[in-house]
Structure 1
């Protein structure tokens, strides 16, 4: 392994000069820094990050703490964040919690111990008190979900309005038996999406029993399959279904294809997220598109500015992006009932 001593001998300078040059020390001339870096690159030198961290320097690693990498929203966010951070000389590290607050705590302990530069977190429903304390010592922001104990820096989506628009679209087509399948109400995203669904029904003057709700773990593909199977077997099944998570949408679409349900003839469907295959699933899935790239870029820029300015997490910052209703072929008027409204 190439060391700073090897570089020093090659250049005929002291080891301390090499170390300072590689650390961009102001006491070393730009010419010397250039020569040291050039030789270090030629010799294949790899800096000892652990040693630098023992001296109190933070790393160039930014952690993304998410519930489930299988959710394409999070994997796409990770990809976009990685590209944005790399352009600024930072590296993305991924931690997966499976929505378990104790797993979340273990990850945060490790990240804190390694002096990670910053954290972008999609928090669990009830973060452990120690997690709250650890995050107070790190530059961080919340993504998608917002928990009041973790500060006031948050990048999210207007979940209420997104689900209100999706449900209103179905009501405008003439549907009066609409089911909603979404994530748990204890999560802020789940609560806001459910509220948007109920708001659309109330604004349309529909009775309380016009809407049927089913709440489940947001990452449960199987729950999506099982729930739609049960709903379709009821004496008066819904004529329309609106979904509140990507994973639930995948489960529902799989079950509808297995049962050969006619969409939208037998059932109109509004999904959540816009997976690459959603545009060509069946007649094309009407769905709620998420502003993933914009959110990832915004998160990266905010965190980079905060790290460069050396500020804490005191000042509140909120960025709310709109979802987009993408209308395709999976929604139509109920059989035998023309629409009397404008979608």
Structure 2
């Protein structure tokens, strides 16, 4: 293994000089720093992260903790954050929890032990007390979901408005039997989406408890099973709004496997605008989410705080606005006068 001593021997300087040069010590001239870096690159020197940690030097790693990397929603976030952070020399390291708070704690412990400079996380429903304690020892920010115990630094989406837009679109098209399949309400995002669905239905007195089905947002077959249950009702829905990307995928799969004609038999409004959604049938009407833009804004704000010496994490909340992307998966039954809340602008979205 190539060491600092090997670089020092090539340049005929002391090992301490090389060490200071690699650490960007102001006592070392820019010319010497450049020579040291050139030789280090030439002979393949790689810094010993463990040794740096023992000297109390922070790494250049930023931890990202998400529930499910299979979800395009989170892969888009990871990509946008990685590109944002690398501009300042930081490297993103990714961890997956499957919304298991014990797994979440294990990842937080490992990242703390690796001396990461900070963490960005989509927290589980109820983080363990030890997770909360560890996160308070370093800069961190919550993304999409927020828990008061983890602080007031949060970047998210207006989940309430997202579902209100979807329901409002179907109401304006004359639907009254509108079902909802979405994430469990123990998650703050799930609770907000369900409330958005209910509030949008409230003025019409069209709410029916049997049309609500909530469950794990990462369960790949939950949407499929929920649709089967809804279609088996004595009075099935004419419209369906979805509150999670994975639920949207599985509902669409179930529609295909049943040979269901959408929107003739059921109008569907999805959640998120995955690339394939525009090609599904005559195109999926869905809620567009500015995921990439949200992640980039989060990353830039986080970098700004990390540049402070010492880093500061003031209270900050940012909520992005969803849009309704109208395609061919919904149809008009009996047109109804739309309220101002039910008049979505046609919009295009490139988010996941």
Same fold (TM over 0.5): yes
1:309 match: secondary structure: coil
Provide runs of 4+ in structure 1 moved above 6 Å: none
1-structure distance, mates of 2:151, 2:252: 37
Q: Aligned runs of 1:248-287 on 2, under 5 Å?
A: 248-287=247-286
Q: CA deviation at 1:314?
A: 5.1
Q: Aligned runs of 1:1-343 on 2, under 5 Å?
A: 1-203=1-203, 205-209=204-208, 212-311=211-310, 315-334=314-333, 338-342=334-338, 343=343
1:77 match: secondary structure: helix
1-structure distance, mates of 2:250, 2:122: 23
- Residue deviations 1:192-215 (CA, integer Å, cap 9, x gap): 000100111113x22433882100
Contact 1:224-1:249 at 8 Å conserved across structures: yes
1:208 match: secondary structure: coil
2:221 match: secondary structure: helix
For structure 2, the 5+ residue unaligned runs are: 344-352
1-structure distance, mates of 2:33, 2:72: 43
What's the RMSD between the two structures over aligned residues? Answer: 1.3
2-structure distance, mates of 1:239, 1:308: 53
Contact 1:178-1:211 at 8 Å conserved across structures: no
Contact 1:65-1:120 at 8 Å conserved across structures: yes
Contact 2:211-2:230 at 8 Å conserved across structures: no
Contact 1:177-1:210 at 8 Å conserved across structures: no
Contact 1:201-1:210 at 8 Å conserved across structures: no
Q: TM-score, normalised by structure 2?
A: 0.94
1-structure distance, mates of 2:311, 2:35: 36
Aligned to 2:346: none
1-structure distance, mates of 2:208, 2:90: 52
Name the CA shift for 1:261/1:111 in 2 (closer, same or farther; >3 Å).
Answer: same
Q: CA deviation at 1:272?
A: 0.4
Q: CA deviation at 1:69?
A: 0.5
2-structure distance, mates of 1:58, 1:211: 53
Instruction: Figure out how many residues of one structure are paired with residues of the other and give that number.
Output: 339
2-structure distance, mates of 1:42, 1:132: 44
For structure 1, the 5+ residue unaligned runs are: none
1-structure distance, mates of 2:309, 2:284: 45
2:307 match: secondary structure: helix
Q: CA deviation at 1:72?
A: 0.8
2-structure distance, mates of 1:211, 1:286: 24
Q: CA deviation at 1:312?
A: 5.2
2-structure distance, mates of 1:199, 1:141: 30
Name the CA shift for 1:46/1:55 in 2 (closer, same or farther; >3 Å).
Answer: same
2:108 match: secondary structure: helix
Bigger shift: 13-22 or 225-234?
225-234
